[in-house]
Amino acid sequence: MLRALDAPAGFASTSERQSTTTPTQALQLLNGDWLLARARKLAGRVENIDDAWLAVLGRLPTKIEREKAESFLKKRAGTATAPVVADNADESSSAFKENSPHERLVVQNGEKEGDEFTVEAIASLNSIDVNASVRTIASRWFGGKDSLESFGWSLGVTGEKSRYKPRNVIIQVVGEDENANIGYQVVPSDIHIELGRRYHIAARVSCVGHTVTFTVRDLDTPGATAQTVVVPMDIRSKLSMGSSQLVIGGLHKRAPTHQWDGRIEALRVASGVQDDKALNEDAEKWAAGLVIWRAADPLTSQLAWSGSDSKTVEADDPFHQAMNDLCQVLLNTNEFFYLH
């Protein structure tokens, strides 16, 4: 009777769905970048099947759904399992590694250290770059050398092919020289560290005194004396006037070959050229500074981890990739589409 009265097509004795997309459009809806990005984001927030169901459907999975999901994850991930959280949070938080969530630590406050400042860290390095790139302990620099935005500095350790020889503790600076021109300079300490050993490393930068004072001590050798050198510097001012944020373990702009590969247990940036007594290999005894970070302490709102592109990290984590795929399936379910 409804058909005789020219009823809408939706009124029928069997369910019908009018075609509203082409096959290509439908595929994009199921498997496009927009949905994949949201599936990755969701997978990063959930730890297990129950979390995924609650986040997407607002309920726990049924017994059959759980069995199918477990089978799906096992098939996709093979023998890989969910990452185990390290018992030692300090150890995990102090590790800086390329293609991981802990590549760099970004300082999110607006305070700047000026042209007279001190950087000190407790750190160990696992590898140096096979070319000439510098492994970065801390920086306020994105790598540029020829603009006002590129003003900054970077404390690090040289690579294999560096003209300053490998494993040399150096600081790179960009600012104004004595003629008020933009200048770039590498200030080498000629103190060469060994891989895999813990060091207390400090650099005291003085644009007024035109020097950088380096102090390095091997903490793995009982009774080792600190090596201290004072090196001339040509840059005169505006080291902290660039556009970069302060970063621990890398540069402001992500550059894998410049990232620290190892542990940074603690780091301090303080205004002014600190005297010898103010430096301390025990980070718990550090006096106040613009930034004091210790891996053993809870992360404050002043700091945020910056990791690599999630796709790169997933390639090394079969379980996480499998959870991404499961989240993508859930975001394509009728229950999510039509009830949520």
Average pLDDT estimate for 204-216: 97
Q: Which has more pLDDT, 266 or 15?
A: 266
Lookup: tokens for 139: 């920086």
Q: What is the structure's pLDDT at 313?
A: 46
Cβ atoms of 240 and 112 within 8 Å: the answer is yes
- Backbone conformation region of residue 99, classed left if phi is above 0, alpha if psi is from -120 to 50, else beta: left
Phi first, then psi, for residue 121 (nearest 5°) are: -145, 155
The answer, yes or no, to whether residue 297 has pLDDT greater than 80, is yes
Output the pTM of the full model: 0.67
Q: What is the structure's pLDDT at 85?
A: 43
Phi first, then psi, for residue 11 (nearest 5°) are: -85, 100
Each residue's pLDDT tens digit, 34-60: 888 888 888 888 889 999 999 999 899
The answer, yes or no, to whether residue 212 has pLDDT greater than 70, is yes
Q: Where exactly are the structural domains of the chain?
A: 23-80+317-339, 90-307
Question: In the predicted model, what is the mean pLDDT of the chain?
Answer: 86
90-307 has which fold? Jelly Rolls (2.60.120)
Average pLDDT estimate for 212-222: 97
Each residue's pLDDT tens digit, 303-318: 888 876 544 444 456 7
* 79 — pLDDT class (breaks 50, 70, 90): low
